Amino acid sequence: MAAAAKKSGGADEEYNASEIQVLEGLEPVRKRPGMYIGSTGFDGLHHLIKEIADNSIDEAIAGYATHVKVTLLNDGGCRVDDDGRGIPVDIHPKTKLSTLETVLTVLHAGGKFGGGGYKVSSGLHGVGSSVVNALSTHMIAEVYRDGKINHIEFDTGKTVKPIEVTGSTDKQGTSITFYPDPAIFKETTTFDYDWVVNYLRHQAYLTKGILTSVHDERTGKTDSFYFEGGIKSYVRRLNEGKEVVSDDIFYVEKQVEDSGVEIAVQYNDSFSETMRPFANNVLTPDGGTHVVGFRTAMNRVINDYARKNGLLKEKEDNLTGDDIKEGLTAVILVKLPDPQFEGQTKNKLGNPEVRGYVDKVTSEYFAYYLEEHPDIAKKIVQKATLAARARKAARAARDNVIRKGAFEGLNLPSKLADCSSRDRTECELFIVEGNSAAGSAKEGRDSKIQAILPLRGKVLNTERARLDKMFANAEIVSLIKALGVGIGDTFDINGLRYYKIVFMTDADVDGAHISTLLLTFFFRYMPEVIKAGHVYLAKPPLFGLIKGTGNTRKIEYIYNEEALEQTLAKRIEERKVAGTKINPEDETFKQAGYTAQQRFKGLGEMDAAQLWETTMNPANRTLIRVNIEDAEKADAIFTKLMGDEAELRKNFIQSRAATVDLDDLDF
């Protein structure tokens, strides 16, 4: 009570200047690392590499470096080398320290402010190197400049070996080695080779003429990337496995005011768009002003060309943005001196002037391209016109579906067994393969929070299907209506009725195929639902190990072959230690003390109680959340596995045939 009275009264004498914590130097970074690198998990760990390597890439963008190399060291560290100018080592007038030490120990110190060091750069805040230093147990920096090797070392951001000249050299550039602090990165400090490969490949695409390479001392792996064509090569890669409208790629690179605009475009025969927008080599997945300028110009130029050349009839409506982006693959790269990103993650570009720059360049040069390539222009317009017709047919089909659904109670599919809760944050939708399994699921579920939608057979492969065809498919229509988010131009994730959407299929090849078909649908038409973390795969057991009979009967559920082998081996060893006599003539499960072993070939083989206990009960079940970690790789895999090119699937299967264990296959 006294404390309360004191708080509600006048000034609190104990609350004074001494209570205010002032963090100096790099202390704020170690105190709140997530503010600077996003997280302290896998992504944050690898962000350290990006922060250092981005500085080397900036040297290449400025025209001073030709090679950026990342080495993953045997002792857990990472070294980044470049052949740029080398970080200056002279005394900085403000800090009175060497410029090298200043850059590595002072937040917001670098060549990215004021335009003196770099006209454009991928780093926005100028904090990268010092942040990496703060979050590393040890950092070593060497600068090769003016014939000298300059060496300096740090521990957790503090200088432990001041800068000194340790030798002479004819090299030029910077080398930085760092060791992530396990006290910060508690999840892992092990760098992933594939992540580095993917990052360096992209940087080579975006900075034409630069060589990027990675060497892994732990495994001996090495990869290098060099693309003379830059983003033209990138577009070509994005369209691998797809039938393109023409082998020719539209490309333009122009300077507008103090900014650069670089665009590459090629159409393919798919029904989806592949857009990769970048600002100063930073991917902006949520778009921004550069994407708005590009779309505006493309819509205007293609419609103008179609009208001018009689490819659109006088009474026909203009093609929409959705029509024009069907099958479009585009890479947009803008370089500007002062990029304004929205948020620390830099997902969206906000510079208003960039919209006009990109609009101007696209309008002028894509118009020239269409005039100079009439055959390609005609194919692009024809493809967009077909998309427009399909869009109108889809709208009519959708309206028809809605009209018919008006009598089904709140427009939900009749075969949906809905849950009773109206708090969608606790609601789950189980998409179940087959009526038998659906029956068990309906009987065994928690009807308050769990809804069941049965599927009949394999759903439509939506990789090669437009919306009009999808609205003619009863299973897809049921799924769309149950989710509540709409589709196409009516899609709104805020309408999602369930916060967990669970694919519950058999633990066999057919079940995996159905899950893949469902994933194709969500990836192509509702990727936002996946990105928001709403899509899951159920993991039903594959085996049941049975002990006892009658009332004493108990089942231990096992989820894969490897776990079964480990469980049986462990039980046999325990029985041997206990002195139990093992009869080698018995089947393995009997040697382990079980009375029977059951293999579940399908969900329908489990009764309601078993299905609830193993696969649906939140207290016991295992759910695998579906993430889109690499959208480009996912796009390529869906194209390969679900597209029209049988040869791609054949090659995919043949390349992996040697790794398949035939004992795991059922014949």
Residues 6+ apart with CB under 8 A from 75: 179
Cα separation, 197 vs 202, in Å, equals 9
CA-to-CA separations, 39 to 45, 160, 440, 480, in angstroms, rounded: 8, 27, 41, 35
Planar angle of CA 419, 421, 427, nearest 5 degrees: 70
Helix, coil or strand: residue 110: coil
Strand partners, 48: none
Q: Is 164 helix (H, G, I), strand (E, B) or coil?
A: strand
Helices marked H in 278-351 — which ranges? 289-308, 321-324
279 φ/ψ angles, rounded to the nearest 5 degrees? -130, 115
- Whose structure tokens read 């139990």? 580
Q: Tell me the residue type at 661.
A: D
**Per the residue annotation, which of 258, 446, 510, 632 is the catalytic one?**
510
What's the token pair of residue 176? 């930085």
Whether 181 is catalytic is: no
Q: Is 492 a catalytic residue?
A: no
CA distance 203 to 195: 13
Query: Residue 536: helix, strand or coil by DSSP?
Result: strand
CA dist 199 and 56 (Å) reads 13
Distance in Å from the first CA to the final CA of the chain? 77
- Cα–Cα distance between 646 and 635 in angstroms, integer? 17
**What tokens does 133 get?**
């230093």
Is 82 a known active-site residue?
A: no
Extract the runs of DSSP E, i.e. beta strands, from 440-490.
Answer: 450-455
Cα–Cα distance measured from residue 434 to residue 173, given in angstroms and rounded to the nearest whole number:
63
* Helices 193-206 and 231-238, axial angle in degrees (round to 10): 130
Residue 240, both tokens: 């691998």
- Cα Dmax for the chain: 92
Cβ atoms 344, 274 nearer than 8 A: no
Does residue 510 carry a catalytic annotation?
Answer: yes
Q: What is the CA radius of gyration of the chain?
A: 30
- Active-site choice (433, 475, 613, 635): 433
- Indicate which residue of 223, 253, 508, 528 is catalytic: 508
- Active site members: 433, 506, 508, 510
